[in-house]
Structure 1
């Protein structure tokens, strides 16, 4: 018999650290953002106007699943809406429950939500990967628990799958890009004007968790010299509002063996960076940037090419380049992946039904673009 223990204070999670790691290892394609270390950092920096609801699913006394949730007060034209969702907040592309049997775990967690006072206006599972959508994992658990599940598209992300080898990948690129890559690599590598350093520590357990602050600060300096230094979105790694968050994540990722930081040097000076997280060969590109001198010499193409070539050498599985900036990423990517959502709109909250109609209209647009099938659009309208 499964039961649920709900945790609302982060310090109460310390006693499940080992079991959380065990479940992380059992979860398919788990990322840095699903570690307990990341959740505690996230809560430390972004807890304002939120409520933590971590649902621990136990079989007798054994932890078999974790469903990390937060209640977020989100502004809409209808006023603030309390949304119960995953805590990712767009820092990554995908999120899921931690469990060897995710559908069963999510079903029991949803039953727990029905048995407790509702402190949310809308249940919105965001950042679902394509496999979840194809196998109706979240949708099935919601329906089994008595929730209506409306499918939508939260975003799209661009990926490079490292299938075959570097030469195979080059042959799959456009003639122009292939020519640019070969010419620039030959031009700069032959004269030894560039140097590429990629740092990927093995982690604290392996005695290899040096954060390499020298590389970190070089990346920060490049970011400040690039367009990111003038950005007001508050999401660039050099922005003062999130700098301490990025530093805390940097330490945690190094200790977990999930840090992946690449620097390109031009004539011994930092010219570009790629700041990533990695787990089991799956790389997530958090941010990248080029110094003015790097842009002037067209080194952006060189940096990306060397990163991809190095990933083939390392045996990586994929690189998630993240959503947005599709034109810049289109020539590199091997596919676009949908980032889905499953939403429940309670009938007892009238303004949420208005929000459902807004999402239905968005789904109409997604259908026309092919991002969502007709069957799901019809279901959203009912």
Structure 2
């Protein structure tokens, strides 16, 4: 028999570290974005006006699953909405339910509970679920059995380079690419000083990469890591936590002793997660980001990492480096009632129609960004 325990306050969550980490280590979904430290920092810096809805699922007294959820108030097409989302949505590159047990039964119990409190939300929006965990397959079966109105997708690709068994080949490939880029740069700018630095992951390093980002194409955009105070404070805390456990890998390319590009990676369970890369636009003609990325992949191949994970995003530059990818999916679930059904029509019919007309969608996204709607 399955029973649920509701964690809806930060004080309660603070007592969950040991059981959280134990369950995560035993699950198929273990990744850096589901660690207790990452979730803890996200809650502190991004959930101040949200309602925590962490569900611990027990089977015969044994903790079998954790649903790391939150109810967030926002706006959709200017209308107020209350969405059930994963803790970490928007800044986490991979999220999921942490399950060690029968996925269908556990997901069914979670969905039943959400429907029991449907007066507290307007729709459920779960993003960045990796296909290989089996969660989406089990979720589709549950939704079909229960007859809940839903939207599956769109699916997105997450690229990676497998290093196990290919370490020498990957190292040689990117060693050559890195050296070729350096030769081209030195031919273009004779006498230029080039230095790749692997600084300690401290406040000084964070300040350097934040400054590079401010001079990059990312400045002021939603993809910027340090443009808003809560984002900067979040990453300060992550730097402090992850540096203590050697889970940060920062690379900085200096040109004539001036920082020109950075690569910001997390290290977890043998994988190097490329969380962010940016370069100063003043150096765009010499491809500093490409040079540093070649160096980062080369160094990962010479370490004990089993994989270089580019995380989410389908940038064309990733496709040029690897053809290996995983699929990430999204599911939105709607309850009965006029307002929720209207949101369903909006998201399943109207938005796709707008996207089919690119110029209309671009105008809409500019309006949405200006009004700071979620």
TM-score by length of 2: 0.79
How many pairs were matched up?
A: 350
- Paired with 2:162 and 2:11, the residues of 1 have a C-alpha distance of 38
Gaps of 5+ in 2: 357-374
Structure 1 residue 41: Cα displacement = 1.6
> Per-residue CA shift, 1:45-74, capped at 9, x if unaligned?
222442110001123443222111111223
Q: Does structure 2 conserve the Cα–Cα contact (< 8 Å) formed by 1:151 and 1:341?
A: yes
- Paired with 1:216 and 1:165, the residues of 2 have a C-alpha distance of 32
Correspondence 1:104-253 to 2 at 5 A: 104-116=105-117, 118-132=119-133, 136-143=137-144, 147-153=148-154, 155-162=156-163, 164-165=165-166, 168-169=169-170, 181-185=178-182, 193-198=193-198, 211-228=201-218, 231-233=219-221, 235-241=223-229, 242-253=231-242
Gaps of 5+ in 1: 200-209, 368-382
- Paired with 1:153 and 1:258, the residues of 2 have a C-alpha distance of 31
Q: Does structure 2 conserve the Cα–Cα contact (< 8 Å) formed by 1:65 and 1:102?
A: no
Structure 1 residue 282: Cα displacement = 2.6
Q: Name 2:288's counterpart in structure 1.
A: 299
> Per-residue CA shift, 1:310-353, capped at 9, x if unaligned?
1111243333334446233331232354321122221x222322
- Paired with 2:136 and 2:286, the residues of 1 have a C-alpha distance of 47
Structure 1 residue 196: Cα displacement = 2.9
Q: Secondary structure at the match of 1:153?
A: coil
Structure 1 residue 6: Cα displacement = 0.2
Residues 1:350 and 2:347 aligned together: no
Q: Does structure 1 conserve the Cα–Cα contact (< 8 Å) formed by 2:158 and 2:313?
A: yes
- Paired with 2:344 and 2:158, the residues of 1 have a C-alpha distance of 24
Q: Secondary structure at the match of 2:88?
A: coil
Distance of aligned partners of 1:145 and 1:247 in 2 relative to their CA distance in 1, 3 Å threshold: farther
> Per-residue CA shift, 1:59-97, capped at 9, x if unaligned?
344322211111122312372221112122221222111
Distance of aligned partners of 1:295 and 1:233 in 2 relative to their CA distance in 1, 3 Å threshold: closer
Structure 1 residue 283: Cα displacement = 2.8
Q: Secondary structure at the match of 1:136?
A: helix
- Paired with 2:354 and 2:101, the residues of 1 have a C-alpha distance of 34
- Paired with 2:197 and 2:287, the residues of 1 have a C-alpha distance of 18
> Per-residue CA shift, 1:12-44, capped at 9, x if unaligned?
122221111101211224222212222222122
Distance of aligned partners of 1:224 and 1:363 in 2 relative to their CA distance in 1, 3 Å threshold: closer
- Paired with 1:115 and 1:280, the residues of 2 have a C-alpha distance of 37
- Paired with 2:94 and 2:226, the residues of 1 have a C-alpha distance of 24
2:252 alignment partner, one of 245, 263, 283: 263
Distance of aligned partners of 1:106 and 1:260 in 2 relative to their CA distance in 1, 3 Å threshold: farther
Q: CA RMSD in A?
A: 3.5
Structure 1 residue 186: Cα displacement = 5.3
- Paired with 1:61 and 1:192, the residues of 2 have a C-alpha distance of 65
Q: Name 1:72's counterpart in structure 2.
A: 72
- Paired with 1:185 and 1:120, the residues of 2 have a C-alpha distance of 54
Structure 1 residue 273: Cα displacement = 0.8
- Paired with 1:134 and 1:243, the residues of 2 have a C-alpha distance of 32
- Paired with 1:197 and 1:283, the residues of 2 have a C-alpha distance of 17
Q: Does structure 2 conserve the Cα–Cα contact (< 8 Å) formed by 1:143 and 1:149?
A: no
Structure 1 residue 365: Cα displacement = 10
Structure 1 residue 5: Cα displacement = 0.6
Q: Name 2:365's counterpart in structure 1.
A: none
Q: Name 1:206's counterpart in structure 2.
A: none
